[in-house]
Amino acid sequence: GQQVMQIPQYQHVQEGEDFTTYCNSSTTLSNIQWYKQRPGGHPVFLIQLVKSGEVKKQKRLTFQFGEAKKNSSLHITATQTTDVGTYFCAEGSYIPTFGRGTSLIVHP
């Protein structure tokens, strides 16, 4: 699978602040998937992006796929304590290749 790099590795925010994590690849991605893993839990699928420049929203979460299909971002507006966890991007090939994840810590 292709290598996907995620930044930042950790992010501390105050509750109510926004949060963004970035996923980058040196080569074109066929698609990008995002997963969330709560502390002590297992990764859970959030969304998949396929088209160049695609933007999808889920409530306070906005997902973007770059025009060149080499990067993606997940943006959370007005974070809540329930957003705590590690967010992983993955190229959804026949063997999904995961980034190292961004751990979000929300301080009440």
Partner 1 sequence: GAGVSQSPSNKVTEKGKDVELRCDPISGHTALYWYRQSLGQGLEFLIYFQGNSAPDKSGLPSDRFSAERTGGSVSTLTIQRTQQEDSAVYLCASSLGSSFGNTIYFGEGSWLTVV
Closer to partner 1 at the Cβ: 44 or 68? 44
Nearest distance in Å: CB 51, partner 1: 12
Closer to partner 1 at the Cβ: 20 or 31? 31
Q: How far apart are CA 1 and CA 30, in angstroms?
A: 11
Contact between 28 and partner 1 per CB under 8 A: no
Q: How far apart are CA 82 and CA 14, in angstroms?
A: 13
Please answer whether residues 47 and 34 qualify as being in contact, where contact means their C-beta atoms are separated by less than 8 angstroms.
Answer: yes
Where in 54-83 is the site for partner 1 (CB under 8 A)?
none
Tell me which of 50, 55, 68, 78 binds partner 1, using CB under 8 A: 50
* Sequence-ordered list of residues with C-beta below 8 angstroms from that of 59, at least 6 positions apart, any chain: none
Nearest distance in Å: CB 57, partner 1: 19
Contact between 8 and partner 1 per CB under 8 A: no
DSSP class of residue 9? S
Strands 55-58 and 61-65: antiparallel
Contact between 85 and partner 1 per CB under 8 A: no
